[in-house]
Amino acid sequence: MGKDHTSRIKSIRVDQPSKRSANPVGDKAASPSSMPSRASDANARRPSRAGRAATTYPSAFDLLDYQRDVLERTILFFDTMRRRANAMLEHEQAGLPPLLNFKHELILDARTFEQPVNYSLLRITDVGDDCWEACVDPAKPPVIVIDPRAGHGPGIGGFKRDSEVGIALHTGYPVYFVVFYPEPCPGQTLTDVLAALRRFVEAVAARHGGCAPILYGNCQAGWAAAMLAAHCDGLTGPIVLNGSPLSYWAGEPGVNPMRIAAGFVGGVWLTHFLSDLNEDRFDGAWLVQSFESLKPGNAIWDKYANLFTRIDTEQARFLDFERWWGGFYRLSGEEMVAIIENLFVGNRLEQGKVRVDEHCVADLKKIRSPLVIFASYGDNITPPHQALGWLPAIYATTDELRSAGQRVVYLTNPHVGHLGIFVSASVARFEHRAILENLDDIEALVPGLYEMKIDNPTGDPDCERHQYVVRFEPRRIEDIQFAYASRGFERVRDISEMNENIYRAFVSPWVCAMANPWMSDALKWLHPMRANRYVFSERILPWMGVFEVLADAVSSSRHPLPDEHPLLAQERRQIEEISALWETVRRIRDAALERAFEIVFGDQDARK
């Protein structure tokens, strides 16, 4: 795809940042951008002539202090790796419970349904030290937060107090949370999951006098919420889609390579093969590995370099997040094949071809609940292209959207990463709070497309409601332009269907006959996403226990260097240069993949 086919928005967009965040979590503290920039470092290394004589150089004492600091940080770093490994193994032994930082009670367990699935509905019962009844306004509609089932366990929407769950409770909404369990139920399908979600919504509405609940869908759960709303007209209230892909072929060439990945593995057959090896279960570690491969510099270097450099302040945050990031759940093989085949490879959701049950398909045009779409230009997993690109595919014109009586409001962030949309405390305390505090205004809008603009003169995410202003600026469907060579993706879909038919008919029965529990466990524990974590435990390497003793000694007499120490500044410059090298490698790789995809599957007409 040439320059003419670079995905873009013409009128509907915010100013994109000049440099994309390298951290998928979107946490500034874990991002290379939080280190001194090259330009500022270069200026710092070029003192004026008048000041050159006064330039100081590290003394022998500086060198000794730095060597001691590096030794102490090294001990604390490897002790952190040991603690992460032990936390992962303990989490596995405990059955991988949800990491939800709120007290809750079980309302419905879908494992007991006639068509069982590994989902449950919880009611959040506390707000900090206060009980639910003392803080929640019963006149407000309930909020159901659905976490993404994309390889990890549930809890990211309520991972900490400053989260989607916490903010919803803080603003007085009764909150329910949909969780899932590490193992799928036998024969579980996508249709079964949607049926269970429908029962959850009906149960919550019944508990609140028939009031339609607000659905909060994160990432994968966003398209599940959209399919649910398309199938259950009038059952749900406003739907908030956070970093949710609905248009899977859209994306920026060289920036969003995940959308073309299926072309290089022959389509969905590989997912089917991995599921068959695992006794009809797909290991979520493969999904997490694909996410990390998008930013290999961050996965291999940046997050560890940031931890080593800031070991005194980053250790707790690193361990908290890694406990969730390293807890891998499994999905039903049949369910996962349907998701990949219909959505990621087939892009059938925006085409209205995903079958919900034997009676109907999911037609997004049937959704009448107001939609709030939250996307970020720093999100390399679900960019605005995929969050918004389905709109012109469903509604040809703005008038068609209006005549359908639909209200679509979108909000964009210029830099936060994919997980930062759900995890970032500042995003939760401001953007998510602004969405919830203005839902009544959104429902009162005249049908059409709007961009939600937030003016906050204070710059404080914790500002009072009267201190910030929200505007809903009308936009046009015709101005959403995310051009891509669709014929290339159609060819990939055709090849995928052919390969899957061949594999299902001639190979799958033999693989299923060969699969066994021993092989399944071996594949699980030998997966590199697990092995590179648990290997640092003293249960695997007994000598790692030494770091626990050394870390206690270091912590009791720790003397960190000041930030302005010359050798520490030099260390951070070198870290940044290595980060820049990894980013260059990633850009070259993604450009090469994009070019290869164009050559093999490209749309000849689109290149003219």
Q: Kindly report the average pLDDT of the chain as a whole number.
A: 85
Residues paired with 362 in a beta bridge: 354
What is residue 56's predicted lDDT score, i.e. its pLDDT? 60
Tokens 């006794």 sit on residue: 279
d(CA 179, CA 97): 10
Greater confidence (178 vs 31) lies with 178
Backbone dihedral region for residue 222 (phi beyond 0: left; psi -120 to 50: alpha; all else: beta): alpha
Q: How far is CA 72 from CA 388, 546, 551, 559, in A?
A: 48, 14, 8, 9
Residue type (1 letter), 483: A
pLDDT digits (tens, 9 = 90+) for 89-118: 999 999 999 888 888 899 999 999 999 999
Contact (CB, 8 A) for 84 and 322: yes
Closest Cα partner for 213 from 192, 229, 227, 230? 229
Contact (CB, 8 A) for 248 and 259: yes
pLDDT digits (tens, 9 = 90+) for 33-77: 333 343 344 344 444 433 433 446 677 778 999 999 999 999 999
Cα–Cα–Cα angle for 588, 591, 593, rounded to 5 degrees: 110
Model confidence band, residue 228 (pLDDT cutoffs 50, 70, 90): confident
Q: How far is CA 208 from CA 142, 143, 205, 213, 517, in A?
A: 7, 11, 5, 9, 45
pTM of the model: 0.86
What is residue 603's predicted lDDT score, i.e. its pLDDT? 60
